[in-house]
């Protein structure tokens, strides 16, 4: 979508990482629905990414597909260059959604496994902040949103590395908010509880889901649309920054 800024046309666009499916896909498609051109980042499955592009294009926006492994700084830099070349400098929204987990107790886990988790969930987010933060800073406006997890506050047995990475995301959110705030950029962290996606449903059976519901004060199961709503709250409120917004049915109150 083309809008006018300072007498010149600019592209209203968003970059979302990890958006081939699940929460990332839901966020990306909703941004397209709102009129944002979108850069779709694929990592595991190019066809899934292409499907997201087609779904976004149904809203009449520009949507392009680009491969990036956020663990690799050079690839994040190339993704930024691709965005600037194809959409221009006027980035408005960056959503860091790329993340993963490898279950296992830290004291028993292969170091390669816990480093993969930390490098994806935390270091990847730092790479993205390093490259895309200055773009938002130069525009003197925008939103940098990170999808974290309630595990950053209360880690679970057998998922220590994931909890470490998501706790780091909370620190990144506060630090980056201080760096970008003077330039009109808000930085926030959405920390979901259990969200019923195709991936999570693959390893959470009915008994596990029933157990999760017992930890909540609300008799609901989280769905992707609840995270979309949280994102849109942050996009609508310029006075919220440096915060962790928990979306967890009341399973954790902070």
Cα separation values, 182 from 136, 138, 166, Å: 12, 11, 25
- Residue of higher predicted confidence among 205 and 91: 91
Residue 254 lies in a domain: no
Task: For the chain, state the CA radius of gyration.
Answer: 18
pLDDT at residue 7, as a whole number: 42
Query: Within a domain: residue 62?
Result: yes
Does residue 8 have a pLDDT over 50? no
Q: Phi-psi category of 96—alpha, beta or left, where left has phi over 0 and alpha has psi -120 to 50?
A: beta
Which of 34-48, 97-111, 150-164, 175-189 has the least mean pLDDT?
150-164
* Whether residue 4 has pLDDT greater than 50: no
Q: How confident is the model at residue 253 (pLDDT cuts 50, 70, 90)?
A: confident
- The whole domain housing 32 covers 2-246
**Rounded distance between C-alpha atoms, residue 206 and residue 175, angstroms:** 39
In a domain, 252, yes or no: no
**E strand or H helix at 138:** helix 124-139
Band (118; pLDDT cuts 50, 70, 90): very high
**Rounded Cα distance, 32 and 46, in Å:** 19
Residue 135 sits in a domain whose CATH number is 3.40.50.720
Strand 185-192 with 142-147, pairing: parallel
Residue 16 lies in a domain: yes
Assigned domain for 222 exists = yes
Whether residue 79 contacts residue 68, with contact meaning beta carbons closer than 8 Å, is answered with yes
What is the average per-residue pLDDT within 184-207?
Answer: 80
Whether residue 251 lies inside any domain: the answer is no
Task: Give the contacts of 163 (CB within 8 A, at least 6 positions apart).
Answer: 151, 152, 154, 155, 156
Helix, strand or coil, per DSSP, at residue 60: coil
Q: Please, how many CA atoms are within 13 Å of residue 189, restricted to the half-sphere of its CB?
A: 29
Residue 123, in any domain of the structure? yes
Q: Nearest CA to 87 among 9, 183, 21?
A: 9
Assess contact for 17 and 76: CB atoms under 8 A.
no
Tens digit of pLDDT for each residue in 196-224? 776 666 666 777 777 777 787 787 777 88
**Residue 212 maps to a domain:** yes
The per-residue pLDDT of the chain, averaged, comes to 91
pLDDT of residue 150: 85
- Is residue 173 scored above 90 in pLDDT? yes
Please count the structural domains in the chain: 1
Query: To 10 degrees, the CA torsion angle through 208, 25, 193, 132?
Result: 150
Is the pLDDT score of 133 beyond 80? yes
């Amino acid at each position: 979508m083309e809008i006018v800024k300072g007498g010149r046309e600019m592209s209203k666009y968003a970059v979302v990482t990890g958006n081939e499916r699940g929460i990332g896909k839901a966020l990306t498609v909703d941004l397209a629905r709102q009129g944002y051109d979108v850069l779709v980042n694929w990592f595991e499955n190019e066809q899934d990414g292409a499907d997201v592009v087609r779904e976004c294009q149904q809203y009449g926006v520009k949507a392009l597909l680009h491969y990036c492994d956020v663990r690799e700084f050079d690839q994040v830099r190339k993704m930024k260059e691709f965005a600037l070349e194809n959409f221009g400098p006027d980035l408005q929204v960056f959503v860091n959604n790329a993340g993963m987990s490898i279950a296992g107790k830290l004291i028993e886990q292969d170091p390669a496994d816990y480093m993969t988790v930390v490098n994806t969930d935390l270091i990847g987010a730092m790479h993205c902040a390093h490259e895309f933060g200055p773009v938002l800073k130069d525009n003197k406006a925008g939103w940098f949103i990170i999808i974290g997890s309630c595990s950053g506050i209360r880690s679970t047995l057998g998922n220590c590395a994931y909890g470490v990475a998501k706790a780091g995301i909370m620190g990144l959110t506060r630090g980056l908010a201080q760096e970008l705030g003077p330039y009109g950029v808000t930085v926030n962290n959405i920390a979901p509880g259990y969200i019923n996606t195709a991936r999570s449903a693959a390893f959470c059976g009915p008994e596990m889901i029933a157990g999760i519901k017992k930890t909540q004060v609300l008799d609901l199961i989280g769905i992707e649309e609840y995270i979309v709503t949280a994102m849109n709250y942050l996009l609508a409120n310029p006075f919220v920054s440096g915060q962790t917004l928990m979306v967890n049915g009341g399973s954790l109150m902070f």
